Structure 1
């Protein structure tokens, strides 16, 4: 969902280069230099307003996180949170999730999070889905051999498509939940803004975790 334009976004981004990079060139293999400590690196592709990634950074201080968002208004809202929180294990990237191999070196990332991605339900838009094979190829490149892909959605159609797409790509599933909030993994789950909204309406949240062979 595209957010309404935030007139203050550009100025906020320009004023905080220590927390955010815009379409970075030449950062492959160098992201650890942006953090206080060298730690396992997790990225969220499509961070929205940033609830998930900021809470994850607070919950896991022994890991580094990068919020990736293509919408300037959305990443500015994440940045607004980060300016207040000053988390030394969180960085932001304004850029396209389809360009991950331009931003990260092979095997630089330990975990990729995809949360409530646009389902792109029309068949002609299949290539835009973040679990389409072309995206999976990029995740495979940037992830470490033991790295994991974690995906959550409220959209059953996208979830079913993703299960098939990952299976056809040859990935192995570590977890599949058809109702995450009623599962054994609920207590450790960190919600997004959309997730809280959808689950409050009684909609089941689907989750899968998988890795490349």
Structure 2
């Protein structure tokens, strides 16, 4: 995407009522007050590295009694998800443009009920391990902003990342409540797992398995 096109998208996104950006001077004032943006007290669910918001929007459609926030740093991705949500007239979904490792500055302790990570960059090199969204420093962050008995969901096509995540979660004291090494091996797939992003469709077309886990943080 060229610079003029990106500039146009940024201008549109700045006017979207369902987008909040870390660059806004009052963004940190939302810490502990995100429910006020939805004007209700429904549970708060985050999707990290949400990309174009396929999963965030689909979850919001499935669960109208929950509030969803898609988090990503790339503005053009946020724009697509936010625009889709507006077109669908969804009032239970927002998008937040932010660095994921800074989330503790914007969300208070125990503010989120669930966190979803769908098809993140696996950062396959040893050097890139620290950037994986299930690296120890991120698990510490998630434990802080999740409620007691909150849920962390990971969905990926990368077996090495899946195994890395399982090991890290267990070592950090998380309880693995669900572990599936091939979601589509059975025809009885839960609705929240049958949502398919652009990336997932691509991986399935290539014959890859889709892995899923759910975990609960250790008690403080």
Which category of TM-score, normalised to the shorter sequence, fits these structures?
over 0.9
What residue is the counterpart of 2:19 in the other structure? 20
| Structure 2 SS opposite 1:105 | coil
Matched, 1:202 2:207: yes
Per-residue Cα deviation, 1:99-139 (whole angstroms, up to 9, x for no partner): 11011000000000000000111111111100001000010
Normalised TM-score (structure 1): 0.94
User: Size of the alignment, in residue pairs?
Assistant: 210
Aligned residue in 1 for 2:112: 109
Range 193-202 or range 116-125, more displaced: 193-202
2: CA distance between counterparts of 1:4 and 1:149?
Answer: 36
Runs of at least 4 residues off by over 3 Å: 3-6
Matches within 5 A, 1:124-139: 124-139=127-142
Specify the alignment match of 1:161 in structure 2.
164
**Aligned-pair RMSD on alpha carbons?**
1.5
Q: Map 1:31-46 onto structure 2 (within 5 A).
A: 31-46=34-49
Distance 2:140 2:49 in 1: 17
In the alignment, what sits opposite 2:9?
A: 9
C-alpha distance in 2, partners of 1:200/1:187?
20
Distance 2:160 2:154 in 1: 14
| Alpha-carbon displacement from aligned partner over 1:57-103 (angstroms, at most 9, x marks no partner) | 01100100000001111111111212212211101100111111011
Question: Residues of 1 paired with 2:179 and 2:114: CA distance?
Answer: 17
1:37-186 paired onto structure 2 within 5 Å:
37-183=40-186, 186=189
Q: What CA distance in whole angstroms lies between the structure 2 residues aligned with 1:160 and 1:4?
A: 38
The alpha carbon displacement at 1:201 in A equals 2.5
State the distance in 1 between where 2:11 and 2:85 align: 15
CA drift of 1:185 comes to 5.9
Give the CA deviation at 1:14.
Answer: 1.3
The TM-score with structure 2 as length reference comes to 0.91
Unaligned runs of 5+ in 1: none
Question: Equivalent of 1:191, from 187, 196, 200?
Answer: 196
Distance 1:27 1:182 in 2: 42
User: 1:187: how far off?
Assistant: 3.5
